[in-house]
Amino acid sequence: MTKLHALLVEDDPVDVEQVRIALSKDGFEVTSEVTDTAEGFTRLIRTGAYDIILADYKLPQWRGMDALDVLRRENLDIPVIVVTGYLGEERAVDCIKQGATDCVLKDRMGRLSPSVRRALEEKRLRKERRDSEMELARKVEELARSNRDLEQFAYVASHDLQEPLRMVANYTQLLTERYRGKFDEQADKYLHYAADGALRMQALIQDLLKFSRVGKHQVELRPTESRAIVEQALANLQAAIQESGALVERSAIPVVMADPSQLTQVFQNLIANAIKFHGVEPPKVQIAAEKKGEQWEFAVSDNGIGIPADQQQDIFVIFRRLHGRGEYDGNGIGLAICKKIVERHGGQIWVEAQAGGGSCFKFTLPAEHSRTTQAAHA
Ligand code: ADP
């Protein structure tokens, strides 16, 4: 027997009895209340936890279908089945459109139980979906919070470590300068290692601080001339460009919604890498953009050493590098910063292999008119 707590919206005691008999016959253990007025209905649904509402279409004092409005107002998800005399197809469709689960004719009571079972099953599925959506929302919030905590930790740690580290770096340097050659050769080597290690740690801590600062401020998206941003990035990289003899080509690049100083950082990091990781040929860098729906897709490609396919995701992780310091200098922070900035703009970043060797970094940004993408993800 399936327990069923039903609310019957009905004015005819004979029909009430018929409904009860039909349900009991098909294995329902029914408990029920009956009402035929709006006030009675509202009072009852506020107090009783009903599994189902079986409503006559037309009552002398009230339209049974109005029950749907009351349920919506009260924010209750209880399935409503219209149980009625002749209704006509058009009205039946209308009832379903308004939110009833089904319509059952009084002279076809055999259909009532299957209809109730289906309504209960649909309600169970709705609840399951709501629960999993809520669980998902909770997990997203938890993840965002733990991300914020982690970011805060990285910021505080890198900020507070700077001062003691400065002491270590200054004094090991002082020691190296003052006492070089005063002990034996071994001691000189140790002093050099200590000073070098302290300097490297300082660089790492400063990079970590740079990385966590990206997340500290809200992104202010505004129409930004990306051509000017690229020119600024190239001006900042002038020394590296001249030294390497790099050739930089740019095709028409558009206005996008972005935070100008953060976008400069993205271009600067990508172009610097395109120059740094060159092969035997002098670096050749191409900057282009292509409209893809509501977004612009930028591409910064080079003719350099390329990136193996199985490592194309890893390189965006903070401090992840594919080469030793002896080969190419750097700390492995540049791409992690690019990823953080682009994602805070509501875009994505990835790398593709170039057909003739080299790499092509791509990222998306909202186009100028898509102001709805005011992404300020923390
Ligand atoms: P860094 O440049 O300081 O090493 P990044 O985060 O900018 O740090 O890059 C991470 C790694 O990704 C680099 O060490 C390098 O191995 C690889 N990489 C980045 N850009 C390129 C590129 N244009 N060509 C080849 N490898 C690259």
Q: Which among 206, 281, 305, 335 is the best mutation to test ligand 1's pocket, defined by most ligand atoms within 8 Å of the CB? A: 335
- Quote the DSSP letter at residue 282: P
Give residue 319 CA to ligand 1 midpoint distance, Å: 10
Residue 99 burial (CB < 10 Å; 0-12/13-18/19+)? middle
Tokens found for residue 190: 């140790």
Tell me the sheet residues that pair with 81: 54, 102
Given this model, what pLDDT does residue 262 score?
Answer: 94
Residue 377 placed within a domain: no
How many angstroms is it from 332 CA to the middle of ligand 1?
7
Rounded Cα distance between 360 and 104, Å, is: 63
pLDDT in tens, the chain (378 residues): 899 999 999 999 999 999 999 999 999 999 999 999 999 999 999 998 999 999 998 888 888 788 999 999 999 999 999 998 877 888 888 889 989 999 999 989 999 999 999 999 999 999 999 999 999 999 999 999 998 888 888 888 888 999 999 999 999 999 999 998 998 999 999 999 999 999 999 999 999 888 988 877 778 899 999 999 999 999 999 999 999 999 999 998 999 999 999 999 999 999 999 999 998 999 999 999 999 999 999 999 999 999 999 999 999 999 999 988 788 989 999 999 999 999 999 999 999 988 778 999 999 999 986 554 444 443
- Domain match, 230 and 191 both: no
30 lies in some domain = yes
Which residues form ligand 1's pocket by a CB distance below 6 Å? 269, 273-274, 277, 302, 304-305, 307, 315, 321-323, 330-336, 359
Tell the burial category of 10 from Cβ atoms under 10 Å away from its Cβ (0-12, 13-18, 19+). Answer: buried
Name the token pair of 320.
């992840």
Helix (H) and strand (E) counts in the chain:
10, 12
Name the residue with the closest Cα to ligand 1, atom 23. Answer: 274
The count of C-alpha atoms lying within 13 angstroms of the C-alpha of 370, restricted to the half-sphere facing its C-beta, is 19
Q: Which residues pair with residue 349 across a beta bridge?
A: 363
Q: How far apart are CA 324 and CA 267, in angstroms?
A: 24
Residue among 266, 315, 340 to mutate when testing ligand 1 (max atoms within 8 A of CB):
315
Q: Give distance in angstroms: CA of 245 to centre of ligand 1.
A: 19
Expressed in angstroms and rounded, the spacing between residue 163 Cα and the centre of ligand 1 is 29
Specify if 374 maps to a domain.
Answer: no
Ligand 1 centroid distance, CA of 316 (Å):
9
What is the whole-number distance in angstroms between the Cα of residue 179 and the centre of ligand 1? 38
Task: Read off the CATH number of the domain in which 142 is found.
Answer: 1.10.287
Residues 239 and 318 in one domain: yes
Residue 66 domain-assigned (yes or no): yes
Nearest to 287 by CA among 261, 265, 315, 268: 268
Is there a single domain that holds both residue 189 and residue 240? Answer: no
- CA proximity to 95, closest of 138, 53, 46: 53
State whether 273 and 343 are in the same domain.
yes
Amino acid at 261: S
Which CATH number belongs to the domain containing residue 116 in this structure?
A: 3.40.50.2300
In this prediction, residue 378 carries a pLDDT of 36
In the block, tokens 């900035």 appear at 341
Q: 3-state SS of the chain: helix, strand, coil percent to 5?
A: 50, 20, 30
pLDDT at 370: 56
Domain that holds residue 68: 2-129
Nearby residues of 121 by Cβ (< 8 Å), 6 or more positions away: none
Nearest to 19 by CA among 54, 49, 60: 54
Check which CATH number belongs to the domain holding 246 and give it. Answer: 3.30.565.10
Question: Is residue 116 located within the same domain as residue 176?
Answer: no
Residue 320 CA: which ligand 1 atom is closest?
Answer: 10
Q: DSSP label at 26? A: T
